[in-house]
Amino acid sequence: MSDRDRDYIGFATLPDQVHRKSVKRGFDFTLMVVGESGLGKSTLINSLFLEDLYKNRKIPDVSERIHKTTTIEKKTMEIEERGVKLRLTVIDTPGFGDAVNCEDSWKVCINYIDEQFRQYFTDESGLNRRNIQDNRVHCCLYFIPPWGHSLRQMDLELMKRLHRKVNIVVVIAKADCLTTAEVAKLKKNILSDIREHEIQMYEFPECDSDEDEEFKQQDRELKASIPFAVVGSNVTLEIAGKKIRGRQYPWGVVDDNLLQTNAPVCIPAYHIMLAFHALRNGIWIDR
Ligand SMILES: Nc1nc2c(ncn2[C@@H]2O[C@H](COP(=O)(O)OP(=O)(O)OP(=O)(O)O)[C@@H](O)[C@H]2O)c(=O)[nH]1
């Protein structure tokens, strides 16, 4: 991974045409984060966008969680990178999957997504079309716990309801808890479930032919490692005089040198892929 890739989010490297328009107007990008409590969602989002979006959060205790229904929490911030503005909205779903009956969790997510479509459609049919704010959910980052064997019934049910409405990117959370062989097995099982249930995942497009070989190779490796196994960290460690983001354990450090097929995907690379591809392609699936 080159230093070039380490320090920024990646949306400033969009192709020229899109870039010119976006420089003027900026992007709206809405990311929905789905997964049970404690899977490292906030940590990963903070690592992806290099900001602390969750400064003021209060972590509910167990008794609160059991009775809690899924809610929608919206956080917006503006990030600027080389003159390109990104208005990032993260839709969090606290309480997701915590209750005994998960049907409520699906409904809350689906209703929210549908409502944003309806609003956008209404605005587009109105007179003031130039100043529409695009609040549609562009991407759903779906966290799978590392301790299962594959997708659970609850995951399948939600994905079946979501996959035609939003780009789903499945991630295996806290992948540092698994060995390389376990990650490979879990990925294989997840992919097989996805195929069997005919769920559409977001497909990252071909990278531009004029990209350099290093970038193309990285692109190939990342695509081959779907569903991404991720490790999040908001901590910067100093290892051999170099500052890196990673997790320090009694036995060593997990950092972004682990970028190989089937190993946990390094944070900056994944984050570039996600922001770059999702933004470049806008909304991808048939609606
Ligand atoms: N081992 C490991 N631990 C992680 C990772 N990411 C986060 N954690 C830890 O897991 C705990 C929960 O992380 P959070 O980011 O708060 O999880 P969350 O999913 O946002 O939780 P809620 O806000 O309750 O929904 C924290 O102690 C993190 O430090 C990871 O990739 N690996």
Our answer on whether the CB atom of 37 is closer than 6 Å to any ligand 1 atom is yes
Minimum-distance ligand 1 atom for the alpha carbon of 96:
25
Our answer on whether the CB atom of 177 is closer than 6 Å to any ligand 1 atom is yes
Helices (H), the chain: 3-6, 16-25, 41-49, 62-67, 103-124, 153-162, 180-196, 213-224, 267-281
Residue 286, pLDDT score = 27
Question: What ipTM describes this predicted complex?
Answer: 0.97
- Amino acid residing at 123: D
Our answer on whether the CB atom of 41 is closer than 6 Å to any ligand 1 atom is yes
Structure tokens at 90: 């993260």
Q: Whose CA is nearest to atom 24 of ligand 1?
A: 37
Our answer on whether the CB atom of 271 is closer than 6 Å to any ligand 1 atom is no
Q: Whose CA is nearest to atom 13 of ligand 1?
A: 40
Our answer on whether the CB atom of 231 is closer than 6 Å to any ligand 1 atom is yes
The 8-class DSSP code of residue 89 comes to E
Q: Spell out the domains of the chain, with CATH numbers in brackets.
A: 3-281 (3.40.50.300)
Structure tokens at 85: 């503005």
Our answer on whether the CB atom of 38 is closer than 6 Å to any ligand 1 atom is yes
Q: Lay out the sheet containing 252-255: strands in order across.
A: 236-239, 242-249, 252-255
Out of 43, 93, 96, give the residue to mutate to test ligand 1, the one with the largest number of ligand atoms within 8 Å of its CB. 43
Tens of pLDDT, residue by residue, the chain (287 residues): 444 444 555 555 555 555 555 556 677 788 899 988 889 888 888 777 766 655 655 555 555 555 555 788 888 888 776 676 778 888 988 777 766 666 777 888 889 999 998 898 888 887 777 777 788 888 888 999 999 999 998 899 889 988 888 888 888 888 888 888 888 899 999 999 999 999 988 777 677 777 788 777 877 777 787 888 888 777 777 777 777 767 777 777 776 554 333 344 444 445 545 555 555 444 333 22
